[in-house]
Amino acid sequence: MPLTRILLPLLLCVALQGHAEDNPARGKDLYTPCAACHGVAGEGNQSLNAPRLSHLAPVYIVAQLQKFKEGSRGGSGATDSARQMAAMAATLSDEQSMYDTAAYIATLESEQSPVTVKADTEKGASYYRQFCAACHGPAAQGNPALNSPRLAGADDWYMLAQLHAFRSGSRGSEPQDRTGKQMRAMAGVLPDDEAVAAVVAYIRSLEQ
């Protein structure tokens, strides 16, 4: 990848950081409607396809809320669940509200959901080291400098759904979704559904 494709987003990131101080107390109020799907502790709810949020870094949460709001995630070609979330992001009136909500979510603690994906974790480990660790980190802790979210602590059912969404193009194919496009290319490297399940089962086996 040419260096400019890495450096430019970083510079943009710095430029975008000019917002007022985060206010988690205001974020708590803003989070009230979110709790209906994501849970009061940000634990997620599989029956509503709403993922756990409490393990995620605020910077990633804000980036995704921005994408949902502008339609580069959850737009016309997206899954029903992503479109549902896009409608919710539209209720956050401005960027400061996103920062405040994300700052509140960062104060939450929740249990990780139980294992639902059973697959060959050894194969998964090998795929992970080969194709994923460079961006998401060896312990799947994420890397904000590469816009790569934490995966340790994520729901296995949600990771599976997102990898299939990237592979089918329902996530990461909007032209302005630069980071989604990067991830889409990586999801496509996995040879088949078995490999997708294996890498998810491996990530779920890591300490959160």
Give CA–CA dist 25/110, Å, rounded. Answer: 19
Is 33 an interacting residue with respect to ligand HEC (CB under 6 A)? yes
- What angle separates helix 193-205 from helix 156-168, to the nearest 10 degrees? 150
**Residue 120 has what DSSP assignment?**
-
| In the complex, least distance from residue 202 CB atom to ligand HEC, rounded to whole angstroms | 9
| In the complex, least distance from residue 58 CB atom to ligand HEC, rounded to whole angstroms | 10
With a CB cutoff of 8 Å and minimum separation 6, the contacts of 166 are 172, 180, 183, 184, 186, 187, 188
Is 69 an interacting residue with respect to ligand HEC (CB under 6 A)? no
| In the complex, least distance from residue 99 CB atom to ligand HEC, rounded to whole angstroms | 11
CA angle 6-166-62, nearest 5°? Answer: 60
Is 92 an interacting residue with respect to ligand HEC (CB under 6 A)? yes
Q: Which stretch binds ligand HEC (CB under 6 A): 9-17, 18-26, 112-120, 158-166?
A: 158-166
Is 141 an interacting residue with respect to ligand HEC (CB under 6 A)? no
Is 49 an interacting residue with respect to ligand HEC (CB under 6 A)? yes
Is 113 an interacting residue with respect to ligand HEC (CB under 6 A)? no
The neighbour count for residue 48, using CB atoms within 10 Å, is 13
Is 64 an interacting residue with respect to ligand HEC (CB under 6 A)? yes
Closest CA to 104 of 131, 65, 161: 65
Token digits for 4? 């400019």
Q: Which stretch binds ligand HEC (CB under 6 A): 4-12, 17-25, 115-123, 154-162?
A: 154-162
Among 149, 152, 156, 157, which residue sits at the site for ligand HEC (rule: CB under 6 A)?
Answer: 149
User: What is the signed CA dihedral for 51, 106, 145, 1, rounded to 10 degrees?
Assistant: 10
Sort 169 into a burial class: Cβ within 10 Å, 0-12 / 13-18 / 19+. Answer: middle
Is 16 an interacting residue with respect to ligand HEC (CB under 6 A)? no
Q: Which positions lie near ligand HEC, rule CB under 6 A?
A: 33-34, 36-38, 48-51, 53, 56, 61, 63-65, 79, 81-82, 84-85, 88, 92, 101, 131-132, 134-136, 146-149, 151, 154, 159, 161-163, 179-180, 182-183, 186, 190, 199
